[in-house]
Chain A
C-alpha cells in the first residue's frame, strides 16, 4: 500500500476544504527555524515517517520559540524511528485544544463498501477505546454510487452524541473527508485527532492516508515512487526491481529485502517464490530448515522469461547469500520452461557459484527441469530442479544438505560474459531489450536450432541465417515474447551467435550503494 506522509495527507485534506494547522515542511534545522518564525508562537516539530508511535519514540516535540524549534529539528532529523530514517520534519502551529475526535475510512471486505468510522473521543489510544467502549465508535457503510450524504453524516454524529453547531460543522467535514478518500482512492484514511480548538475551529491535527496500490497509476500528482506496502523507504535494489515491474506487465514481480547486510556463511538464502500462497508455504519450509531470508520475491501470473531473468539477476546481486531457493505452489498452470530459461540465463551471466534448488512443478515441468539441469552443468555452482511430486519441505532440506557440504572457496572459472557483440551483423528491438545475432557465426553452424526453437514463430531463415519473419516494429511491440528459447538453444546446440540484452537500469549502481 502506498503510504503518504502526514504532510502529504494534510495537503490533500486541505485541497478538499478541510482546515489543517499552519505550518511547513523542513529538511534542515534552518528551514525549521524559519517556518517557526513565520508561524509565530509555540510549534510542534514532527518527524515524517511511515510508522506509528512517533511521539513515544521522541519524534514529536513541542517548541516554545523558533530557537527551540531549530534545536528540536536538529535532533529529530536523521533520527531512526523503528528502522525509518527521518529526512523531513513538519513544523506547525500548536493548537489550543478544546476537544478531540477520531474519523476514519476503511474498505470493509465483508460488506464490500467503504466504511466511515467516527468516535467523539479521539487521540492516542483510539484502539483501546474501540475495544473497551465499542458504543463510543460509530461505523457507517457508505454507498459507493452515491457517496456520503449530508444527512447520513448527521445521523452518524447524533449517534455519537454530537449536537448543535458542532454537528453542522462536523457533518460538513465528514462529507469532505470521504470525498477526499474517494477522490484519491484511499484504501484507508484517518484523521486522529481531529481537533476542536478553543477558538471554535475544526482542524485536522494529524493524517494517515494509504492509497490503493492498484489505483496509484491514476494519481501521478501524488508522486508515489513505489506502489507497494513498505514500512520504510525502499532500498536502492527495491527501486530497481520496482522499475522492472513497472515496465513489464506480463505477470507479477515483487521484491523486497528482508536483510540488507550480512556476513557470508551466515545462513542467508536468496528466495525466489512464485505465487503468494506457494511463496508463503515455501518460505515456511525454508525457515523450518534454519535458513534466513535475504529477500522475498515473487514472480507469478505467467511472467515472461525476461522478467524471471531480471528477478533472478536482482536476487543474485545480493552479496553473501549461501544459496538460491526457488519454489512456488508446485502445480503451476503456466508453462514452466519460460521461468527455467530465465533462470538459466541469469545463472550463467552471474556465474552461479552457490547451490540452487529450484522447485518448478507445473505445466511442462519435465522440459523445465531438463533445461535447468543441462544448461548449468558447466557452472561452478550446482542446480537441482524438482517437479510437482516433490514437496517444498523436501527441497528446503535438500538445499540445507547442499549448503552444508558446499566448498565456498571454490571459484571455478567464470563463464565468458557475453555482452553486446561488437560486430553485430543483425539485431532488432524487443519489448524490453535488444536481440543480437552474429550472422558470421551462423554461416558455419550446421545445427541451426534457433528458428525451430522460437515459440512465437517470428524467426525465419534467409540464406541460412535467422532473421525476423515479421516487421521490427511488430517484434518491438511484443510479438517477440522474450521467451529466450533461441538464445539458450543457440548457446548449447548452435554456434553461440545469439545474445539478448535485457538491461536492468540502475542495478550496478544499486549494488555499489548497497555495499
Chain B
C-alpha cells in the first residue's frame, strides 16, 4: 500500500503547456502515473506527450474523469483560481507545486478545500511519490532517475525540504531500506498537508512500518506530531532530523516556514518535545539510514 497516490488514480495537470508543466507531465507519465488530461485555458484540442488538453478542469472531468488528483503548475499569482477551479470540479487531492503563493490565497484555498472535503499538498512542494507506483509533481525530475533513486518498501518519508526529501529517500535506498510513500509537504509557512496530517495517513497505512521525518525550525508541525504521539494517535516508530540548528531566530533561510513565531518553532524545543514522546531524533543527517535500520530490526 501507500498513501495519497497510487498507479490507479486519475490525474489532471493544470498548466500542462507551460515550461514545468510539459517537462513534469513527461516524468509523471513515464513513471506510470495515470495522467489522463491537462488543462490550459484556450488550448483545448492540443496534446502534450499524448495527453489531451482541455480548457477547464470541469471539461477534463466530463471527458476523462472521474479525476482524483490535480497537479498544478501555474504562476503563483494565479494559483488560487486554479485550485478553486479544481475543487469546484470535484477533485479531492491537489498538488500545488509553485512557490511564492500569497499567504492569504493559501488560507482561502484551505478554507474552501475544508468545506468540500478536498486536500492539498503544498504550495512550494516538489511533490510526492509512491515508489514503483506513481509520482506527482517533479520529484525525481526524470522517470529513470526516480526509478533508480526510490525503491518500494516499508518506510514513509515526510519532509519540509524538497531536495532533502529525495536525499533521505536515496540514502535510505542505498542502505537497503525502501519506501511506501515519500512526500514533500512544502516549504511555506502554511501548507495544506503538514507533518501531523501525513503521519496520521501513515498510521492508517498497513504497509508503512516506520516513518522518517525531516523537520525544520519554524511553524508548529513537528510539535504537532509530538502531540499525536503523546495522545497515542500516531504509534509507529519515528526517526526525525530537525534542520536549522545554526540558524539565529529571525534569520530566514529561503523557506518561509523556517521562521520562529511566538514560543513555538525553535530547534531546541522541537528536539526536546519529540524526544520526550519517544521519537528517535538524530543529530547528524548522515545517521538517518542506520538509525532507521536499527528501528526496523527491532520491530
Contact = CB atoms under 8 A, between A and B. Distances in A.
A277 B162 contact: yes
Interface residues of A, number: 62
A216 to B, nearest CB: 9
B216 interface: yes
A284 interface: yes
B78 interface: no
Given A278-B167, A280-B216, A112 B103 contact: no
Contacts, number: 174
B162 A275 contact: yes
Contact of A106 (B142, B159, B261, B263): B261
B161 A275 contact: yes
A217 B162 contact: no
Contacts of A453: none
Contacts of A272: none
Interface stretch (B31-39, B41-49, B251-259, B290-298): B251-259
A110 interface: yes
A335 B100 CA distance: 22
Interface string A350-390: 00000000000011000000000000000000000000110
B220 interface: yes
B254 A300 contact: yes
A276 B125 CA distance: 12
Interface residues of B, number: 69
Interface stretch (B85-93, B105-113, B198-206): B105-113
A214 B250 CA distance: 18
A107 B220 contact: no
Contacts of B163: 274-275, 277-278, 300, 328-333
A486 B191 CA distance: 40
A287 B219 CA distance: 25
A391 interface: yes
A109 B194 contact: yes
A281 B77 contact: no
B76 A214 contact: yes
Contact of A109 (B164, B220, B244, B286): B220
Contacts of B164: 275, 277-278, 281, 329
Interface of B is mostly: loop
B2 interface: no
B189 interface: yes
Interface in A188-227: 188, 212-215, 217-218
A276 B255 contact: yes
A1 interface: yes
A462 B160 CA distance: 50
A187 B107 contact: no
B37 to A, nearest CB: 24
Given A187-B103, A276-B187, A334-B141, A143 B216 contact: no
Interface string B180-201: 0000000101111010000000
Interface in A330-345: 330-335
Nearest to A114: B107
A331 B149 contact: yes
A273 B112 CA distance: 36
B87 to A, nearest CB: 13
A162 interface: no
Given A145-B112, A283-B253, 15 more contacts: A109-B257, A113-B107, A185-B103, A212-B103, A215-B103, A250-B19, A276-B258, A277-B214, A280-B244, A284-B245, A331-B167, A363-B142, A391-B286, A393-B284, A393-B286
Interface of B: 19-20, 75-77, 99-104, 106-108, 110-112, 126, 138-142, 145, 149, 159-164, 166-167, 169-170, 174, 187, 189-192, 194, 214, 216, 219-221, 224, 243-247, 250-259, 261-263, 284-286
Interface of A: 1, 106-107, 109-110, 112-114, 131, 143-145, 182, 185, 187-188, 212-215, 217-218, 228-229, 231, 249-250, 252, 254, 273-281, 283-284, 287, 296, 298, 300-302, 328-335, 362-363, 388-389, 391-393, 478
